Amino acid sequence: MKRRKIILDCDPGHDDAVAIMLAGRAPELEILGITVVSGNQTIEKTSPNALNVLQYLELDIPVYAGCGQPMVRKRIHAADIHGSSGLDGPVFPELKRTVEEEHAVTFIIRSLLSSEEAVTMVTTGPMTNLAMAMRMNPGILDKIERIVLMGGSYGNGNITPAAEFNIAADAEAAYVCFNSGRPITMAGLDVTRKALCFPEIVERMGRIGNKASKLFVDLMGHFCRTQKEVFGWEGGPLHDPVPVAYLIDPDILKTKAMNVEIDIRSEQSYGRTNCDYFGYLHREATADVAVDIQVERFWDCIESGLRRYG
């Protein structure tokens, strides 16, 4: 099977960590590198968080630290969900790994230009690194096979009534990416809020009994508790593994082509992904937006992913 080349751009983050775990040993994917961005926490925290997950799972994938600030707006974080470290809960052994010298943005540019085939950009945090790479070198655009992101929603937001965190944390970056002309698959809250990690799911993954399953249980211990504190629901929505699971098993998501505009101008709705679900505006579709998820198939994919670790 030909493996799909990807770069995973993330802001670990508990659900980002599970996305890394799922992608890390997936036979369908060849991870060129993991790029990290400010989002759930500062870049000074999301970078070691990514390194800790990779070191613990013995994944030899390079990590590149990226942008510590959004392109325009003031930086925001999600410590209420992910804690002061950005990955509260798990206790890792002494971190010996370091990030690569090269900045994430130049790594993205260099990798895309040097790759023979086009690369899939998977983003599970604010899209700052990818947008900056597009602006620094537009020559990378035709080397982007597709942008597959966790972000946005055509329903409610989660950081404001209108906007989802990854988009609102750097809406200008999302605007650049969504207007790049490259194919996009958007896995928004509309589907990720159906991937609810209930206690029985945590128990199911805990029964696997390897190092990945232990990390999953430790991560979900914190993540599900804070999701209940903030949103009041049982079972945290496991957002970020959804786009990775889609690349492993595309039938997990049902998508609908829509015109998607990112609101970067209004105060109340800044960061909203305005998805023209019914085609009112008769504009060209700019993204394949996920409208449903096969939840059982998703959890099967997660379990298979965790079982790949000895």
- Write out the residues near ligand RIB by the rule CB under 6 A: 11, 13, 15-16, 39-40, 78, 124-125, 150, 158, 164-166, 239-240
Least spacing, CB of residue 138 vs ligand RIB, in Å: 26
* Phi and psi, residue 182, nearest 5°: -85, 150
Q: Pick the closer one to Ca ion by CB: 11 or 172.
A: 11
Q: Can you give the C-alpha Rg of the chain in angstroms?
A: 18
Q: Which of 249, 260, 18 is nearest to 124 (CA)?
A: 18
Q: Which of 290, 288, 286, 70 is nearest to 179 (CA)?
A: 286
C-alpha 50: how far from chain center:
12
Least spacing, CB of residue 51 vs ligand RIB, in Å: 17
Does 126 engage in binding with Ca ion (CB under 5 A)? no
Taken as a whole, the chain contains a residue count of 310
Q: Pick the closer one to ligand RIB by CB: 108 or 163.
A: 163
User: Cα torsion for 209, 212, 217, 223, to the nearest 10°?
Assistant: -170
Q: Pick the closer one to ligand RIB by CB: 150 or 248.
A: 150
Considering only 4, 8, 13, 132, the residue that binds Ca ion (CB under 5 A) is: 13
Q: Pick the closer one to ligand RIB by CB: 13 or 83.
A: 13
Q: Which residue has the tokens 């509309």?
A: 190
Considering only 89, 90, 125, 151, the residue that binds Ca ion (CB under 5 A) is: 125
Least spacing, CB of residue 126 vs Ca ion, in Å: 8
Q: Which of 182, 180, 189 is nearest to 272 (CA)?
A: 189
Q: Which of 99, 122, 137, 152 is nearest to 270 (CA)?
A: 152
Q: Pick the closer one to ligand RIB by CB: 51 or 195.
A: 195
Q: Which of 83, 181, 75, 164 is nearest to 128 (CA)?
A: 75
Give the burial class of 196: count Cβ atoms within 10 A of its Cβ; 0-12 exposed, 13-18 middle, 19 or more buried: middle
Query: Would you call 251 a catalytic residue per the annotation?
Result: no
- How far apart CA 157 and CA 190 sit, in angstroms, is 9
Least spacing, CB of residue 129 vs ligand RIB, in Å: 13
Does 9 engage in binding with Ca ion (CB under 5 A)? no
Least spacing, CB of residue 209 vs ligand RIB, in Å: 26
Considering only 124, 259, 273, 286, the residue that binds Ca ion (CB under 5 A) is: 124
| Piece of 16-24, 99-107, 114-122, 294-302 that binds Ca ion (CB under 5 A) | 16-24
CB 125 within 8 A of CB 10: yes
Q: Which of 244, 271, 221 is nearest to 76 (CA)?
A: 271
Does 16 engage in binding with Ca ion (CB under 5 A)? yes
Identify what 48 binds: ligand RIB, Ca ion, none; CB under 5 to 8 Å per kind.
none
Number of residues that bind Ca ion (CB under 5 A): 6
- Judged by the rule CB under 5 A, the positions of this chain that interact with Ca ion are 11, 13, 16, 124-125, 240
Catalytically active residues are 11
